[in-house]
A = this chain, B = another copy of it.
Amino acid sequence: MNTDVRSFHPPRRTLMGPGPSDVPPRVLAAMTAPTIGHLDPAFVAFMDTVKDLLRYAFQTRNELTYPVSGPGTAGMESAVVNLVEPGDKVIVCRNGAFGGRLREMVVRCGGTAIVVEDRWGEPVDPAKLEAALAAHPEAKVVAFVHGETSTGVLSDAATLIGLARARGCLTIVDAVTSLGGAPVSVDLWQADVVYSGSQKCLSCPPGLAPITFSPRALEAIRRRKTPVQSWFMDADLIMGYWGGGKRTYHHTAPINLLYGLHESLVILREGTLESAWARHWRNHEALCAGLEAMGLKMLVAEPARLPQLNTVRVPEGIDEAAVRARLLEECDLEIGGGLGDLAGKIWRIGLMGAASCERNVLYCLSALEQVLSGMGAAMRRGEACAAAREKLRE
């Protein structure tokens, strides 16, 4: 036994990695309200408001909309296990780490995964999806990642969903990083299952995964021949608790975290989604302008950049992990490194939710400039912040 039995006092960081992102004090404070029971009438009314606010965030009227009691990965698995039965064919678009994770989950619940492969750093190619749909007319589901957190790429969800629907396929859309920071319009897109995470552009601590199921997805769940392999994630059972009418106990909801999510959704609603999207875009452009003024190069071509997660190439000869370590130690600033094949080659700079603000753009640029020049990187100095400010004034 460790003898160091003391309260923990974490350092105060600026979180500009791939998530979690900084949590506003209002959200942290909301979580300290007294815990109440998960069947308390006061909590039951609160749950209805949470569902309404999630419907706003997802831009949907879907009845079956609730926060999964687990992180984004549990949201992903909830989508897959409810929709996919053993033997089902699922077309999985893979252009990064999370597409790979989707594939793995499809296989683990007995589905056959047909992988549509795109290079890390590029969006899902609709032509490749169309070819896969033509080659596999029996496919039941198309799954893809809207905003790839591993690469900073935003794929064209509306087009991909349109192709899938034209062939009668259901869709699973990963909106973990996109929700709240870039347009996610579940009903307009006619998407079937869309899930997200609380800790990205919603600016809530991690631990909850908002999810929504279309009536078509519900119908597919009703027609299943086999039970959902996960009792914990079984959407039909969960609706006995989260649905309207009499609430039946399924599992104990994470009460205080839900207080936090509620508050973060209230903040989103107060400010409107449209202005959140615009803010993410503006700060993204300013950050890119600053990084490019420094002489750094973005990984992703302009039309497919995910505004809330900016991937930038590590300059030749620079030890990227050492840069991140110094940013953390000297500036209390967290940015992310690359995953998979991109490990060591890129940084991932998040501007998510409340953390997508002018102060963070400028702080990150000045900190990165200080650390990189301290390490002797070939770069232009003294221009980054000015370039960012100019963009912000536009």
* Chain A residues at the B interface, C-beta cutoff of 8 Å: 1-2, 4-13, 15, 17, 19-23, 26, 28-38, 40-43, 46, 48-49, 52-53, 55-56, 69-74, 76-77, 101, 104-105, 108-109, 197, 199, 205-207, 227-232, 249-257, 259-260, 262-263, 266, 269-270, 328, 334, 339
The 8 closest A-B pairs by CB, nearest first: A207-B254, A73-B251, A2-B52, A205-B256, A28-B32, A206-B252, A70-B70, A77-B232
B230 touching A71 by the CB < 8 A rule?
no
Q: How far is B256's CA from A206's CA once the two chains are assembled, in angstroms?
A: 8
The A interface, classified by DSSP as helix, strand, loop or mixed, is loop
CB-CB under 8 A from A53, the residues of chain B are 2, 5
A8 touching B74 by the CB < 8 A rule?
no
CB-CB under 8 A from A26, the residues of chain B are 7
CB-CB under 8 A from A20, the residues of chain B are 35-38, 252, 255
Once A2-B52, A253-B206 are accepted as A-B contacts, the answer to whether A10 and B73 lie under 8 Å apart by CB is no
Q: Residue on B with the closest CB to A3? A: B52
Q: How far is B267's CA from A6's CA once the two chains are assembled, in angstroms?
A: 9
B22 touching A35 by the CB < 8 A rule?
yes
Interface centre among A20, A23, A199 (most CB of B within 10 A): A20
Q: Residue on B with the closest CB to A9? A: B33
Q: How far is B21's CA from A60's CA once the two chains are assembled, in angstroms?
A: 35
Interface centre among A71, A260, A269 (most CB of B within 10 A): A71
Closest Cβ of chain B to A77, distance in Å, is 5
B70 touching A252 by the CB < 8 A rule?
no
Q: How far is B324's CA from A41's CA once the two chains are assembled, in angstroms?
A: 12
Closest Cβ of chain B to A88, distance in Å, is 15
Within 8 Å by CB of A10, from B15, B249, B252, B259, lies: B259
CB-CB under 8 A from A11, the residues of chain B are 34, 36, 40, 42
